[in-house]
């Protein structure tokens, strides 16, 4: 194998092991054994397990970010936007289950960026501006848009995590239910919501 081919092989082997066992449960020994190389080969290409994990996560983040950014950049109404964003995440979960499993697991200690939480925060920032426009158009307080963006993105992300293991519904059915809750909830919002019971 060329160095490039070996590196690609190690990334695929690492990706499969990290998805199966998590970061902490995977060792350099296992990676080397499954790739049928010596441990020094793994160190030579990635400096260790952490380096390989970082490459795997970066690739998954880039893939998912590209899908969601494309969905959010498309033209159309707000409902279309929610549908496309939900389907983009569910498409990723369906087509890259191992990658999604890696992203939603705990990151190695000390890793502050390049994880699922930071990606969802970035997506919420993009959604926030779109919601603010919709809020203004509907005479709602646009200052609440960041909070609603977190709610919406969190709802989609947690549903994606649930659907990863519970494939009892088709992807389009899950997306339709997500959009039903999000859209019908957003269209019926009160300008000044209050609790029915005061704590």
Does residue 164 have a pLDDT over 70? yes
Domain 58-188 fold? Tetracycline Repressor; domain 2 (1.10.357)
Which of 34, 28, 37, 119 is closest to 72 using CA atoms? 119
Dump pLDDT digits (tens) for 46-97: 999 999 999 999 899 889 888 888 888 877 777 888 888 889 999 999 999 9
Cβ–Cβ < 8 Å for 42, 7: no
Angle at 122 between CA 114 and CA 154, to 5 degrees: 100
Cβ–Cβ < 8 Å for 3, 24: no
Tokens of 170: 């088709």
Dump pLDDT digits (tens) for 94-148: 999 999 999 887 655 555 555 777 878 888 887 888 788 888 888 888 999 899 8
Residue ranges of domains in the chain? 58-188
What pLDDT is attached to residue 13?
A: 97
What pLDDT is attached to residue 106?
A: 60
Residue with tokens 């970010």: 65
What pLDDT is attached to residue 80?
A: 86
SS (H, E, C) the chain: CCHHHHHHHHHHHHHHHHHHHCCCCCCHHHHHHHHCCCHHHHHHHHCCHHHHHHHHHHHHHHHHHHHHHHHHHCCCCHHHHHHHHHHHHHHHHHHCHHHHHHHHCCCCCCCCCCCHHHHHHHHHHHHHHHHHHHHHHCCCCHHHHHHHHHHHHHHHHHHHHHHHHCCCCCHHHHHHHHHHHHHHHHHCCCCCCCCCCCC
What pLDDT is attached to residue 14?
A: 96
What pLDDT is attached to residue 55?
A: 94
Q: Give, to the nearest 10 degrees, the angle between helix 116-137 and helix 97-104.
A: 90
Does residue 199 have a pLDDT over 80? no
What is the distance between the alpha carbons of residues 30 and 35, in angstroms, rounded to a whole number? 8
**For residue 183, what pLDDT band results from cuts at 50, 70 and 90?**
confident
């Amino acid at each position: 194998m060329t160095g490039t081919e070996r590196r690609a092989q190690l990334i695929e082997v690492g990706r499969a092991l990290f998805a199966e066992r998590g970061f902490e449960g995977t060792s350099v020994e296992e990676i080397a054994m499954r790739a049928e190389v010596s441990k020094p080969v793994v160190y030579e290409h990635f400096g260790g397990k952490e380096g390989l994990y970082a490459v795997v996560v970066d690739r998954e983040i880039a893939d998912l970010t590209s899908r969601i950014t494309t969905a959010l950049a498309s033209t159309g109404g707000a409902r279309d936007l929610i549908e496309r964003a939900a389907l983009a995440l569910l498409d990723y979960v369906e087509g890259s289950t191992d990658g999604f499993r890696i992203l939603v697991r705990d990151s190695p200690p000390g890793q502050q960026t390049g994880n699922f939480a930071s990606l969802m925060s970035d997506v919420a920032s993009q959604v926030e501006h779109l919601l603010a426009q919709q809020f203004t158009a509907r005479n709602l307080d646009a200052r609440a848009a960041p909070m609603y963006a977190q709610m919406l993105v969190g709802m989609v992300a947690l549903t994606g995590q649930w659907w990863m293991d519970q494939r009892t519904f088709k992807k389009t059915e899950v997306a339709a239910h997500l959009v039903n809750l999000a859209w019908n909830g957003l269209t019926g919002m009160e300008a000044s919501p209050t609790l029915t019971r005061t704590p």
